[in-house]
Amino acid sequence: MNHLLRCPGSSKHASQRRGVSKAVTGIAACPCNRQERLKSQLRHPRSSTAEFAQQWKAHENREEKPAMRTLAVGDIHGCYHALTTLESFAEFQPEDHIITLGDHINRGPDSRAVIEWLMERHATGQLTALRGNHECLFNAVTESELNHKKWLNFGGDRFLASYNAQGIDEVLAGHIAFLKNELQSYYQNETHFCVHANACSDLDLEEQSDRMLFWERFEKVKPHKSGRIMVCGHTPQRSGYPKDIGHAICIDTAVARKGWLTCLDLDSRQCWQAKESGETRSFSLDAQKPLNVQERKAM
């Protein structure tokens, strides 16, 4: 019997191919025939039926595990809707390692929800959250080293509003402890390092000053002595696109100022972005111009 007549995908094969030569090609390419060839390759002349069944079952159960991605996320600034939209758009997976670059709080509408999101993923070991200058200011307020009114002017008023609170003493103790104790100054792997603001090119990361790590703007950045690529936030890129100068990339794209929240895959250099309004787009940093940007308007 003609295989195309008994193949589960025969109608599809037949509709796509006309003529004898094309039909023969369809038979060779049919998924059912590929499966039969694979079975014949697995079967050894001396293997028993039971042994072959075990071999075939092992093959069918062998699933390729998703490759772990290392994803850097720029300054969130309390923009929880942009964060969860980005999470869905970039399809964050449990295997991914997420590095948030600091300035998680203030300015945006829901710092509390952002902190809870961070704490949940930090508890699973999936997340490395870095400290930004806004977390430094928060810690200074809790330790009475910064005037409360000055902090409110740095976006602290929006932070308190997300807790329906009038003062720091009304903020959940667990959230305060997380911001004070669980954030890191930097992250590094074999090819990249991540900081909130910047790094002095001729100093190891553990030797960097707080001023450099949390406050220095992304200007006249020199290649780091380690040879690693620096990924940072802090300096808003009003163009809406990350600033890539080869040895350093700034991915703060001003989400709290009606801009974008950016996620960068450190290895593939693919970017995903989301706005607080729900708009999304993606592109590769390797494109000469952002002409391949795929945008989707908020529904």
Alpha helices by DSSP H, listed for the chain, are 3-6, 10-16, 20-29, 31-42, 49-61, 80-89, 111-123, 133-142, 148-151, 157-162, 173-181, 210-214
Using pLDDT thresholds of 50, 70 and 90, give the confidence band for residue 144: confident
Mean pLDDT of 188-209: 98
As a whole number of angstroms, the distance between CA 74 and CA 78 comes to 12
Residues 220 and 101 in one domain: yes
Residues 46 and 86 in one domain: no
- State the pLDDT at residue 19: 41
Mean pLDDT of 26-40: 48
As a whole number of angstroms, the distance between CA 50 and CA 189 comes to 46
Residues 171 and 282 in one domain: yes
Give the residue, 31 or 207, on which the prediction is more confident. 207
Residues 182 and 284 in one domain: yes
pTM of the model: 0.77
Residues 19 and 161 in one domain: no
Residues 30 and 140 in one domain: no
- CATH number of the structural domain spanning residue 158: 3.60.21.10
As a whole number of angstroms, the distance between CA 139 and CA 176 comes to 8
Inter-residue contact 23 to 48 (CB < 8 Å):
no
The tally of domains found in the chain comes to 2
Residues 157 and 227 in one domain: yes
Domain boundary among 61, 79, 106: 61
Residues 86 and 36 in one domain: no
Residues 120 and 253 in one domain: yes
- State the pLDDT at residue 146: 84
Domain that includes residue 43, residue range: 3-61
As a whole number of angstroms, the distance between CA 105 and CA 158 comes to 9
Burial zone of 226 (CB within 10 Å; 0-12 exposed, 13-18 middle, 19+ buried): middle
Beta bridge partners of 98: 71, 127
Residues 26 and 166 in one domain: no
The three-state secondary structure class of 273 is strand
Residues 108 and 218 in one domain: yes
Q: Is the pLDDT of residue 234 over 70?
A: yes
Residues 177 and 269 in one domain: yes
